[in-house]
A and B are shown apart, each in its own frame.
Chain A
Amino acid sequence: MTVVSIKQVRAGEDLSHAVEEVVVQKAIHEPVAAEKPVASEAKDKLINIKAGLEFFAKRILPPLLGLLVFAMIWGFIAQRSENLPGPIKTWASAVELFSDPFYDNGPNDKGIGWNILNSLERVGMGFGLAALIGIPLGFMIGRFAFFSGMTSPIISLLRPVSPLAWLPIGLLVFKEAQPAAIWVIFISSIWPMIINTAVGVSKVPQDYMNVARVLNLSEWKIFTKILFPAVLPYMMTGVRLAIGVAWLVIVAAEMLTGGVGIGFWVWDEWNNLNVEHIIIAIFVVGIIGLLLEQALLLVAKRFEY
């Protein structure tokens, strides 16, 4: 039970932080309020505190509580299990791990930072190639019915295939682990980009196409002035889904191909029976996936009309 009670204290600390934040916020507002009559100043203060509390109750409290419950369940299970480390032990291990993320003791023992960067590089290569080919392909499929007819049976057939089923083909063709892993990322992340782009093209409002027809625009002008901007939001959705898939697949691909990378690192730590590190890896993969998604959401927001 110690684990749980310590966790509760920690959560208590978090609460006090949030209260401090409210106080700071109030302090920032004070100079403005000072110019007003005293009565309204007190009123403003009250409103500020009220707004701060409301913000806390609505936006900060629920996720905090959720994390707390999660940690409690985790701690509870860990206590009953022989091998599963609890949150505290994992946290301590993470602090140690991230204190020196970029050490290099030869190819099989590198810091967590190197592993993450290597995985990101593979994902970037595979995903980048997939975007380079998938997005133009999506445009062609959406624009030309004949081409769509040609490609749709192939896409329908290949899309549901599990990403890792492509690994042997990659190993066979490239005769090396590194390009094979990139190939798996490529093939698994290309489909959302092709399909979303093609759907986007087919959803371009007929009104816009009528404008293009009345103006007799060239195919290039239609592409740059109408198709591309109209499809961009759909395309960005495809890109976002694709990067999600790519990041999802990288762990499995690296487990099989080896080398430096977060997936292989997980496998390595399993062989070392270092379960804390495996749990840390799960969080790292989750957090990086979340950051990638949020970054792309931010980019996508820029293209809404």
Chain B
Amino acid sequence: MNKYVQVEKVQMVFETKKGKFVALKDIDLGIDQGEFISIIGHSGCGKSTLLNLVAGLIDATGGALFCAGREISGPGPDRAVVFQNHSLLPWLTCFDNVHLAVERVFGRKEDKASLKKRTKEALVLVGLEHAMHKLPHEISGGMKQRVGIARALSMQPKVLLLDEPFGALDALTRAHLQDELMRIVAALGSTAIMVTHDVDEAVLLSDRIVMMTNGPSATIGEILEVNLPRPRDRLALAEDANYVHLRGEVLKFLYARHKKEAA
């Protein structure tokens, strides 16, 4: 009880044409401030649903969710989301996309110059100051996702929610952005929840990995502590016995104990 993010006895039932579909049940999870949590599981295990519940984009049909002591009753900028497909508005420049968020969160308290400064800082943080005034279609997929991250971070959220943020990127860009995210999260001390299906990504980035059982009626199967020291270096870790062991644990959970039949 009284964790920074608290998920209590959460259940999610969707009404479908074929009747009730229980996506999630009996989810209990507490997250400390500054902790990085990954949620991993096979597709259809409701991991994105769980993230959307914390984001407030959907309402739980049972149980309760709290963030910083207050019940989550809808979406809000204190729980910024980095969407899988970046979700940048194509008619706004990178700067304007981020500025929209900054303006919403700080617009009442701060003057225009400081809003602009915040926007710029967020873009500098993700290394995109040179592409500030470009439109989303003029930049690469990896750059778009960086803008998405900049937009989320610019709101100074209590919790950063990442929904398979690097899923649509090629392996090299993904590795690069994972390192960037690690650096940024370490610098800001952000609390983050990331949905992923990439085992290496989960082990590399997380303090704990929440492993979900298969749906329907998915729930948390196991929670794995990742006690690797930070800062972490992907090259050094590749040979690290502990890393290999943790990676093996996740793989065992996914492919031995909760193997999913090929769809």
List the interface of chain A (C-beta within 8 A of B).
Answer: 207-208, 210-211, 213-217, 221, 225-226, 229-230, 305
A229 to B92: give the CA distance in the assembly, Å: 10
List the interface of chain B (C-beta within 8 A of A).
Answer: 55, 57, 74-77, 79-81, 83, 85, 87, 89-92, 100-101, 104-105, 135, 137, 155
Partner of A208, one of B75, B77, B87: B87
Residue of B nearest to A205 (CB): B87
Interchain Cβ contacts within 8 Å, total number: 49
Given contacts A215-B104, A216-B75, A305-B90, contact A210 B81 (CB under 8 A): yes
Partner of B104, one of A207, A216, A226, A305: A216
Q: Offer 8 A-B interface pairs, CB within 8 angstroms, sorted by A.
A: A213-B57, A214-B55, A214-B81, A215-B77, A215-B105, A216-B75, A217-B100, A305-B135
Extra A-B contacts (12), CB below 8 Å, given A215-B77, A221-B100: A207-B83, A207-B87, A210-B81, A210-B87, A211-B89, A213-B74, A214-B76, A214-B77, A214-B80, A215-B155, A216-B77, A305-B135
By CB atoms of chain B within 10 A, which of A207, A211, A230 has the most?
A211
Do A210 and B57 have beta carbons less than 8 Å apart?
yes
Do B76 and A207 have beta carbons less than 8 Å apart?
no
User: In the complex, which residues of chain A have a beta carbon less than 8 angstroms from the beta carbon of B100?
Assistant: 215, 217, 221, 225
User: In the complex, which residues of chain A have a beta carbon less than 8 angstroms from the beta carbon of B74?
Assistant: 213
User: In the complex, which residues of chain A have a beta carbon less than 8 angstroms from the beta carbon of B92?
Assistant: 225
User: In the complex, which residues of chain A have a beta carbon less than 8 angstroms from the beta carbon of B91?
Assistant: 229-230, 305
B81 → chain A closest CB, angstroms: 5
Residue of A nearest to B135 (CB): A305
User: In the complex, which residues of chain B have a beta carbon less than 8 angstroms from the beta carbon of A305?
Assistant: 90-91, 135, 137
Q: Which 6 A-B pairs have the closest CB atoms?
A: A305-B90, A207-B87, A229-B91, A213-B75, A214-B75, A215-B104
Residue of A nearest to B91 (CB): A229
Do A216 and B81 have beta carbons less than 8 Å apart?
no
Do A208 and B104 have beta carbons less than 8 Å apart?
no
User: In the complex, which residues of chain A have a beta carbon less than 8 angstroms from the beta carbon of B81?
Assistant: 210, 214
Residue of A nearest to B148 (CB): A211
A253 to B61: give the CA distance in the assembly, Å: 59
User: In the complex, which residues of chain B have a beta carbon less than 8 angstroms from the beta carbon of A217?
Assistant: 100, 104
User: In the complex, which residues of chain B have a beta carbon less than 8 angstroms from the beta carbon of A226?
Assistant: 89
Do A215 and B87 have beta carbons less than 8 Å apart?
no
Given contacts A216-B77, A225-B92, A305-B137, contact A211 B87 (CB under 8 A): yes
Do A208 and B83 have beta carbons less than 8 Å apart?
no
User: In the complex, which residues of chain B have a beta carbon less than 8 angstroms from the beta carbon of A230?
Assistant: 91
A230 to B87: give the CA distance in the assembly, Å: 13
A225 to B90: give the CA distance in the assembly, Å: 11
Residue of B nearest to A207 (CB): B87
A211 to B155: give the CA distance in the assembly, Å: 13
Residue of A nearest to B90 (CB): A305
Given contacts A207-B85, A210-B57, A210-B83, contact A215 B90 (CB under 8 A): no
Do B89 and A229 have beta carbons less than 8 Å apart?
yes
A155 to B89: give the CA distance in the assembly, Å: 32
A217 to B151: give the CA distance in the assembly, Å: 14
Do B89 and A225 have beta carbons less than 8 Å apart?
yes
B97 → chain A closest CB, angstroms: 9
Partner of B57, one of A214, A215, A221, A225: A214
